[in-house]
Chain A
């Protein structure tokens, strides 16, 4: 009997638990390093998962009291919801799935802060810095929870994707909500113990989360999702400081850094500043400007047929496919893969040009194409692709619009002027598959469609691509 308490003491030794936490965050970092290439990435993700398992195990060891029933209940509920959702989600729906998972993470953060507040009767006897980090986590976690849910709703089309806003008053509203939330936090940190104030703070943060994401249009979603990811990470790191837990601090901060990098990359790829995106309403404002500029295009649009497009592609040496959100919406990735196989059978060299903000989250197109078995080495990033267009015979644009618009290079008055684009007009000819002449999310007329080397194939992306593949068989 004497050995058992000894073992228990050792397992609950704070230093031993800290060692486990350090192993856990080392595995997170090692796992993320694995994500730098497709061959090591699967292992990397699993290494990170093992790290998580160790962190959870360490936390369960460090317990004096029971409550195992509550823990089992919480984990069982989470597993019952999380596993089927992750198993069944379609790759096209990945952005909303990530938004939802991000949201529940933020939700957990603010609930944990709230329970801390209640347990300590308003942070009585708590060190001021712990109070501050806990309050920070509560505000940011709440913003992230509500913002992510709105993003989910927009991507899932439960809420209209069009910007919903108070117009020019938007920034004032956001500012007031932020000031109120921070004021409540300061009040609590300086010794107020009333739960009403704490709840008021959570409500202001919740309204702020709604007010920030509701005005953001569909095309800016990659930026918003990255930003909310960073928010949840930072709030988790703050929770870690409040609870003095190194694994939480490291994991949360790395996610914060990752989200910040991606947010910045997306904003650069759209040539828009992050504050301008948060200020919102891209879809609305740009449309007016773009429409007034549209009259300049005296050029005519030439439409083509699937049969003609097939002939053009069949006799090309090199074809570059430019996919966009239209491909995702039409679920056309498998049809596109069939087309590339048919072309490759005819010795046509095919690759894909991927703009960083194509789709609804960073790297979304790559996931869809990988799902359809397109080899990784056929996917080219923007810089590589732009060097290739000069020796490309046919560029096939499938459901992509603004990312190919030459106005971004040529027309200083255009709202997207300065945005890096895929320079498809450098190729010898361009075929654009598009449902209609309606402008894209930014509401800007695309000059590409009026250029002499461009032909338009109107129709649903999946149907049009399948028709081309069928016509190829007849040549």
Chain B
């Protein structure tokens, strides 16, 4: 019973997320499709969490530890690289249309994702 309700809750989340994704992404103009793609690409790097969760469970043998470290490394490349490269691209779009560029200048984008 509990398992069934977890499944249905998760399926509901899945379906609703699909619809939200459609609505949100449909508003992105063609011009920004490359940054959109690399940005969403960074977001699916969230599979990193899967690696973090499983590596914390007991009973992982050496081989499992190796593939999980690789999975975490892959996920990190995906997240950190994806967000950084998207930021680089979007900066180019941002500063052009506004002659006085109101840069946030915090430089915090560099620390994101790799801090944990």
Q: Mark A residues whose CB is within 8 Å of B.
A: 25, 28-29, 31-33, 35-39, 41-46, 48-50, 52-53, 55-57, 59-60, 62-65, 67, 70-71, 73-75, 77-79, 81-83, 85-87, 89, 91, 94, 97-98, 101-102, 104-105, 107-109, 111-112, 114-116, 118-119, 127, 129, 225-226, 229, 232-233, 235-237, 239-241, 243-259, 261-262, 265, 354, 356, 361-364, 366-367, 370-371, 373-377, 379, 381-382
Contact call A374/B96, Cβ cutoff below 8 A? yes
Contact call B112/A49, Cβ cutoff below 8 A? yes
Contact call A258/B40, Cβ cutoff below 8 A? yes
Q: What CA separation (Å) do A116 and B18 show in the bound complex?
A: 26
Q: Which of B6, B38, B69, B79 contacts A244 (CB 8 A)?
A: B6
Q: What CA separation (Å) do A249 and B11 show in the bound complex?
A: 9
Contact call B24/A77, Cβ cutoff below 8 A? no
Contact call A79/B114, Cβ cutoff below 8 A? yes
Give the interface size class of chain B.
35 or more
Contact call A102/B41, Cβ cutoff below 8 A? yes
Contact call A83/B114, Cβ cutoff below 8 A? yes
Q: Which of B49, B54, B70, B73 contacts A116 (CB 8 A)?
A: B54
Q: How far is the CB of A62 from chain B (nearest CB, A)?
A: 7
Query: Which residues of A sit under 8 angstroms from B115, Cβ to Cβ?
Result: 53
Given A53-B112, A78-B73: A98 touches B27 (CB 8 Å cut-off): no
Of the listed residues B3, B21, B55, the one surrounded by the most CB atoms of chain A closer than 10 A to its CB is B21
For the A-B complex with A42-B87, A251-B43 known, give 18 more contacts whose Cβ atoms are closer than 8 Å: A38-B96, A45-B83, A50-B112, A83-B114, A85-B81, A86-B85, A91-B92, A229-B41, A233-B44, A250-B17, A256-B21, A258-B25, A258-B40, A262-B25, A356-B30, A362-B33, A370-B96, A381-B31
Given A45-B86, A74-B72: A377 touches B97 (CB 8 Å cut-off): yes
Q: What CA separation (Å) do A237 and B64 show in the bound complex?
A: 22
Count of inter-chain pairs, beta carbons less than 8 A: 407
Q: What CA separation (Å) do A358 and B74 show in the bound complex?
A: 30
Q: What CA separation (Å) do A259 and B25 show in the bound complex?
A: 9
Q: Mark B residues whose CB is within 8 Å of A.
A: 3, 6-7, 10-11, 13-14, 17-22, 24-61, 63-65, 67-94, 96-98, 104, 108-109, 112-116
Contact call A36/B49, Cβ cutoff below 8 A? no
> What are 10 A-B pairs with beta-carbon distances under 8 A?
A31-B39, A41-B32, A65-B56, A75-B76, A101-B45, A119-B60, A241-B7, A244-B10, A261-B25, A354-B30
Given A247-B49, A253-B14: A33 touches B33 (CB 8 Å cut-off): no
Contact call B44/A105, Cβ cutoff below 8 A? yes
Contact call A36/B43, Cβ cutoff below 8 A? no
Contact call B50/A243, Cβ cutoff below 8 A? yes
Query: Which residues of A sit under 8 angstroms from B28, Cβ to Cβ?
Result: 32, 35-36
- Majority DSSP secondary structure for residues of A touching B: helix
Q: What CA separation (Å) do A285 and B59 show in the bound complex?
A: 54
Q: What CA separation (Å) do A73 and B76 show in the bound complex?
A: 11
Contact call B53/A255, Cβ cutoff below 8 A? no
Q: How far is the CB of B36 from chain A (nearest CB, A)?
A: 5
Q: How far is the CB of B111 from chain A (nearest CB, A)?
A: 9
